[in-house]
């Protein structure tokens, strides 16, 4: 940026005239100068006997960039006005301003300071250099001293401004329903930039979060994203809006979606997503968990390439005629109250290992589950990798198989059960050298019943056992 363009060619320093303009309101403006008498510019007198001689203090601006980028400190100065002057509005000042009855407030009012040089005849020749506000004042018998600050309002503002309240209807932050009581005082967010990029489309969702929301209506799962209009809100493949819940215990996001009746409100009163805007369809979840913990039954000496975050390296699983296992577990903890009820459909709960062959030939594999508490084993699914050196996924769908559940026989699966088990892959080839390369493994849980207010008192099962007399 270039220098200040002065409105009058600068004269010598002994010809400098300092100008002070105080704006009380639209009709009350004071004009002063530090001349001996006064100067008249464009017909306006700038009285010279009001500001006490040399009372205008140092005019200071500074910014400390020693540590990097930052904001300037508010400049400040002071100026003193004489008590005994002929200027209407300031003479005998102590009775001219509040708290004198019916007089003007002077604090909070604008004070501009400029400069011109002897010979100036118009206000257009003033170069304004400072824009202050009266912060406070003090006076004695002879003078009133105005303490001036630059626009320090910056330091006094808390933002974002809007927070959930039920006191007055401003159309933006007023939420009087009972379900919002817990959110009273929550701040309606101010949102900039792209808060979606690294999550959408990625298989594992733990590395990032999208934008936090304010759950304003739990019965409809209505979330305030921002108090203002947003550029866009992403929706899923079905065209419906989605949201995510972070599960701290397993460091993953539960993706929540619905097949119909999700809505977006995005205009000047804010951005909000409603997940249950009519209809009876439930919210369903999708959760993908990496297998990263070593099982006690693992037979492979080094699984580091399977459990690291590099999805391009691998661990070799040698041919063992369906005996040796690469066995892993999930890490962390989560509860049904956090996640919801898992689906009992086979294809909705899968254990997966991403594999290739180490040559162009097929490989046969087995993926299964073991419960080391009950010692039950689900021998799982046997399959064939037929893509040569291309990737394939060895999968065992276990949603409808209850063998390795811990808590109850014939129960539905819970996240606690899933976290409790070991998951293995075996190489069923018989000849040495027919290796399988294993890149990573994961559990995918789909169609989780996350939240369904339309189904009360659900799932009471009766399991039948052996008849007895």
Partner 1 sequence: MPLYVKYKQETVKNDKPPSLGSLYVPVQGKEFDTWVDAGSRDNGYDSGDLIENPAYVIEDFLRSQIFAEFDVEITANGTWDSGTKTTITCPDLLSSVDDYYNGAYVVHVRPATGTATQLTVSDYVGSTNVLSLSAAVTVANGDYVYLWNIQGDNRINIASFDAVGNATDGHRDDGGGTGVTWEFARSVNAKLSSRMLLDQLLYESHCMLVLNTDPDTGVGQYELYALEAGSSDGTLSTPLHRDGLPQIAVSLTDLAEVYTDFTFRYLYHYGKGSCVKTLFCNKNDSSTGIGSTYETYCQNAIDNYKVNRKFHYECSWIRDDDTAEELFKLLIKMMTKQRLLIQYEGNIKDYIDYKVGNVVLVNYADMIPTGVNNSTKFRITQKTVVPKKKDGSVLFQLTEIVE
Site for partner 1 in 219-258 (CB under 8 A): 221, 223, 225-226, 228-234, 241-246, 248, 251, 253, 256
95 vs 158, beta carbon nearer partner 1: 158
Near partner 1 by CB under 8 A: residue from 145, 196, 259, 322: 196
259-267 own/partner pairs: CB under 8 Å, 24+ apart: 259/284, 262/235, 264/233, 264/235, 266/229, 266/230, 266/233, 267/229
Q: How far is CA 164 from CA 179, 229, 265, in A?
A: 12, 17, 17
Taking the complex as a whole, how short is the minimal distance between the CB of residue 368 and partner 1, in angstroms? 25
From 209-217, 372-380, 418-426, 428-436, give the range in contact with partner 1 by CB under 8 A.
209-217
Site membership for partner 1, residue 168 (CB under 8 A): yes
Distance spanning both ends of the chain, measured CA to CA:
97
Q: Quick one: residue 201, left, alpha or beta (phi over 0 = left, psi -120 to 50 = alpha)?
A: left
Site membership for partner 1, residue 159 (CB under 8 A): yes
In the stretch 398-437, what mask flags binding to partner 1 with x, by CB under 8 A? Answer: ----------x-xxx-x-----------------------
DSSP-assigned letter for residue 248 = G
206 vs 294, beta carbon nearer partner 1: 206
The position carrying tokens 């080391």 is 372
Near partner 1 by CB under 8 A: residue from 170, 304, 361, 384: 170
145 vs 393, beta carbon nearer partner 1: 145
Site membership for partner 1, residue 458 (CB under 8 A): yes
| Assigned token pair, 72 | 């300037």
Site membership for partner 1, residue 37 (CB under 8 A): no
18 vs 365, beta carbon nearer partner 1: 18
Strands (DSSP E) contained in 330-399 are 349-357, 363-371, 376-385, 392-397
Site membership for partner 1, residue 125 (CB under 8 A): no
176 vs 390, beta carbon nearer partner 1: 176
3-state secondary structure of 273: strand
Site membership for partner 1, residue 461 (CB under 8 A): yes
Q: What are phi and psi of 279, to 5 degrees?
A: 80, 175
Site membership for partner 1, residue 312 (CB under 8 A): no
In the stretch 13-32, what mask flags binding to partner 1 with x, by CB under 8 A? Answer: xx-x-x--x-x-xxx-----
Taking the complex as a whole, how short is the minimal distance between the CB of residue 221 and partner 1, in angstroms? 7
Site membership for partner 1, residue 104 (CB under 8 A): no
Query: How far is Cα of residue 264 from the mean position of the Cα atoms in its chain?
Result: 19
Cis peptide before 320 (omega within 30 of 0): no
Closest CA to 325 of 286, 279, 280, 372: 372
Contact 318, 301 (CB under 8 A): no
**Which residues 49-88 are close enough to bind partner 1 by CB under 8 A?**
54, 56, 58-72, 74-75
Site membership for partner 1, residue 120 (CB under 8 A): no
In the stretch 333-362, what mask flags binding to partner 1 with x, by CB under 8 A? Answer: ---xxxxxx---------------------
Site membership for partner 1, residue 217 (CB under 8 A): no
Instruction: Mention every residue, 6+ apart, whose C-beta is less than 8 A from residue 397.
Output: 346, 347, 348, 349, 350, 381
**Which residues 257-276 are close enough to bind partner 1 by CB under 8 A?**
267-269, 271, 273
**Which residues 132-151 are close enough to bind partner 1 by CB under 8 A?**
150-151
Contact 213, 223 (CB under 8 A): yes
Near partner 1 by CB under 8 A: residue from 11, 89, 347, 383: 11
285 vs 368, beta carbon nearer partner 1: 285
Taking the complex as a whole, how short is the minimal distance between the CB of residue 85 and partner 1, in angstroms? 19
Q: How far is CA 114 from CA 52, 146, 266, 419, in A?
A: 17, 17, 46, 72
CA–CA separation, 292 and 183 (whole Å): 37
Site membership for partner 1, residue 6 (CB under 8 A): yes
From 109-117, 290-298, 370-378, 422-430, give the range in contact with partner 1 by CB under 8 A.
109-117
Instruction: Mention every residue, 6+ apart, whose C-beta is less than 8 A from residue 133.
Output: 108, 109, 110, 111, 148, 149, 150, 151, 152, 153
Strands 315-317 and 376-385: unpaired
Taking the complex as a whole, how short is the minimal distance between the CB of residue 34 and partner 1, in angstroms? 7
From 123-131, 306-314, 320-328, 424-432, give the range in contact with partner 1 by CB under 8 A.
123-131
232 vs 361, beta carbon nearer partner 1: 232
């Amino acid at each position: 940026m270039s220098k200040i363009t002065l409105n009058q060619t600068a004269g010598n320093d002994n010809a400098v005239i300092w100008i002070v303009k105080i704006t009380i309101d639209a009709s009350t403006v004071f004009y002063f100068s530090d001349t001996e008498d006064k100067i008249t510019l464009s017909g306006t007198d700038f009285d010279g006997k009001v500001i006490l001689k040399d009372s205008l203090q140092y005019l200071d601006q500074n910014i400390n960039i020693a540590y990097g980028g930052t904001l300037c400190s508010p400049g400040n100065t002071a100026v003193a006005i004489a008590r005994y002057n002929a200027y209407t509005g300031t003479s005998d000042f102590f009775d001219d301003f509040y708290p004198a009855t019916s007089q003007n407030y002077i604090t909070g009012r604008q004070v501009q300071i400029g400069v011109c040089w002897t010979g100036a005849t118009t206000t257009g020749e003033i170069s304004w250099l400072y824009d202050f506000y009266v912060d406070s004042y003090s006076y004695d018998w002879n003078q009133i001293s105005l303490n001036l600050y630059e626009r320090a309002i910056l330091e006094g503002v808390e933002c974002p401004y809007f927070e959930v309240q039920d006191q007055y209807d401003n159309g933006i932050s007023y939420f009087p329903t009972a379900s919002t009581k817990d959110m009273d005082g929550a701040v309606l967010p101010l949102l900039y930039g792209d808060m979606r990029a690294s999550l959408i489309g990625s298989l594992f969702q733990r590395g990032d979060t999208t934008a936090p929301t304010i759950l304003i209506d739990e019965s409809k799962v209505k979330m305030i994203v921002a108090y203002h209009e947003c550029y866009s809100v992403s929706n899923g493949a079905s065209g419906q809006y989605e949201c995510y819940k972070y599960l701290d215990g397993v460091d993953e996001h539960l993706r929540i979606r619905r097949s119909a009746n999700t809505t977006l409100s995005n205009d000047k009163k804010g951005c909000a997503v409603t997940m249950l805007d009519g209809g009876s369809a439930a919210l369903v979840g999708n959760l993908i968990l990496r297998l990263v913990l070593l099982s006690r039954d693992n037979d492979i000496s080094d699984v580091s390439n399977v459990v690291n975050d590099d999805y391009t390296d691998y661990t070799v699983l040698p041919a063992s005629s369906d005996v040796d296992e690469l066995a892993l577990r999930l890490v962390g903890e989560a509860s049904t109250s956090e996640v919801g009820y898992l689906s009992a459909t086979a294809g909705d709960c899968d254990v997966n290992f991403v594999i290739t062959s180490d040559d162009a030939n097929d490989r046969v594999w087995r993926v299964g589950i073991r419960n080391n508490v009950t010692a039950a084993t689900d021998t799982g699914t046997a399959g064939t990798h037929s893509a040569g050196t291309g990737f394939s996924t060895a999968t065992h769908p276990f949603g409808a198989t209850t063998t390795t559940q811990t808590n109850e026989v014939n129960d539905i699966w819970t996240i606690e059960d899933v976290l409790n088990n070991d998951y293995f892959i075996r190489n069923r080839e018989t000849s040495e050298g027919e290796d399988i390369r294993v890149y990573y493994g994961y559990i995918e849980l789909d169609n989780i019943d996350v939240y369904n207010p339309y189904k009360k008192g659900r799932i009471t099962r009766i399991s039948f056992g052996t008849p007895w007399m």
